[in-house]
Amino acid sequence: MFGFLKKKEPVQLNETLYAVATGNLIPISEVNDPVFSQKMMGDGFAVIPEVGEIYAPIAGEVLSVFQTKHAVGMKMANGLEILLHMGIDTVELNGEPFDIKVSEGTKVSQGTLIAKVDLEAIKSAGKAIDMVVVITNMDAVKDFELSRTGNVSAGDEVGIAKA
């Protein structure tokens, strides 16, 4: 009846997260934006992409596509919530460099094409092209362990969210 009275269901984990693009993977603490680097929204990682094809880091459902197309929220069947934030301060670009390939309610597999991004347009606007992946419900997660950094290919295993 009242959602706020319900007990929060624990997330069933250990869940692997995957690289969203081919490029240089960095810990979230190295993203040049304090909201991300200080983990105010949650833990995760970023890929500085070489190409503008951006893929799903998990299997789940698209919960939201931001009106400015710079971010996509997803949720796994086990309850883990992920935000894919494309670029830094790119909300100001009003969706111009983003060609989103999914919509709210779309079921995605790890590796589903989420967006084609014009990286040069983002750079020309003076913005960073970091593709940031954040676990937004860290209260349901004990730890996120990044298993690698450096050069990655889209779809490579990069970390595990642990219960």
Establish if 27 belongs to a structural domain.
yes
85 is catalytic: yes
Tell me whether residue 6 is in a domain. no
How do residues 42-62 score in pLDDT, each as one tens digit?
Answer: 999 999 999 999 999 999 999
d(CA 104, CA 7): 26
CA distance 61 to 155: 17
Task: Please list the helix, strand and coil fractions of the chain in percent, rounded to the nearest 5, in that order.
Answer: 15, 40, 45
Specify if 1 maps to a domain. no
Of the residues 11, 85, 130, 132, which is catalytic? 85
Query: DSSP letter string over 32-60?
Result: SSHHHHTTSS-EEEEEEESSSEEE-SSSE
Secondary structure (3-state) at 122: helix
d(CA 131, CA 88): 8
CA-derived radius of gyration, the chain: 15
pLDDT at 11 (0 to 100): 47
Q: Residue 2 falls within a domain, yes or no? A: no
- DSSP assignment letter at 156: -
Q: Round the average pLDDT of the chain to a whole number and report it.
A: 92
Whether 93 is covered by a domain: the verdict is yes
Q: Give the confidence band of 163 by pLDDT, cuts at 50, 70, 90.
A: confident
Looking at residue 12, its pLDDT comes to 54
Query: How much is the pTM?
Result: 0.91
In a domain, residue 3? The reply is: no
- pLDDT tens digit sequence for 10-33: 545 678 999 999 999 999 999 999
Alpha helices in 2-161 (DSSP H): 34-37, 119-124
Q: Of all residues in the chain, what percent carry a pLDDT higher than 90?
A: 87
Residue 30's SS3 state is helix
Host domain of residue 31 = 11-162
The CATH number linked to 18 is: 2.70.70.10
Q: How many domains does the chain have?
A: 1
